[in-house]
Amino acid sequence: MTPNIISKVLELDNCDKDLFIKVLYSAKFWETVSSTKKIEAKFISPNVLYTKMTDEIVNIKVQMEGELVLQDKGEQDSGKGRLIELNVRNNKDVKELEGHLRIRALSKNRSKLGIFIKSFKLSNDFANLIGKSVAELTLRTKLTEMLRKLKRWLNHNALESLL
């Protein structure tokens, strides 16, 4: 098995696992937890999130748009929780991003969320602009910011408000 280039795991209070999975398929969720300066999100099919983002990476303004495909593989026999595979398509800057989410209930209102990225490749133009190491570090930082934002948001809000 290929090692993950990024692994992030977080325990979330005020987070019912089943409700969280429903919220993942809400554009409002992605707009709420986004770590970019600006994001427009909408689901163009039940499991395909289309986003248009504006951000800065190393003082370089970056605009990206593309699709994030979420493939729900259901509960896993291993007891590791619900598996949702992720991949990016139709993005001129990101050639490949593959990974998965794992969501496991710890109690009725407490869940464990894991984000695991297996591969991340940029288009040649974009990679030449910022470099592979900076790109991976930026992705890792953005994922960390998203998880922190989600955890803080859950401390003061209910998941139901994102449906």
Q: Which domain CATH number covers 47?
A: 3.30.530.20
Is position 86 within any domain?
Answer: yes
- Residue 66 domain flag: yes
Other C-beta atoms closer than 10 Å to the C-beta of 29 total 21
44 inside domain: yes
Flag whether 1 is in a domain: no
Q: In what order do the strands lie in the sheet with 48-57?
A: 6-13, 110-122, 94-107, 82-89, 60-75, 48-57, 38-45
Percent of residues, the chain, with pLDDT higher than 90: 72
| Residue 28 resides in a domain | yes
Average pLDDT, integer, range 116-120: 93
The total number of structural domains in the chain stands at: 1
Domain membership of residue 149 (yes or no) is: yes
Domain that holds residue 23: 6-162
Task: Give the amino acid at 113.
Answer: L
Determine, yes or no, domain membership for 26.
Answer: yes
Nearest to 29 by CA among 132, 163, 156: 163
Cα 91 from Cα 139, distance rounded (Å): 15
Side chain identity at residue 150, one-letter code: L
Give 123-133 pLDDT, tens digit per residue: 877 666 667 77
| Average pLDDT value over all residues in the chain | 91
Instruction: Report pLDDT digits (tens) over 2-60.
Output: 677 899 999 999 999 999 999 999 999 999 999 999 999 999 999 999 999 998 876 76
Is residue 32, in this structure, part of any structural domain at all?
yes
pTM (global) more than 0.85: yes
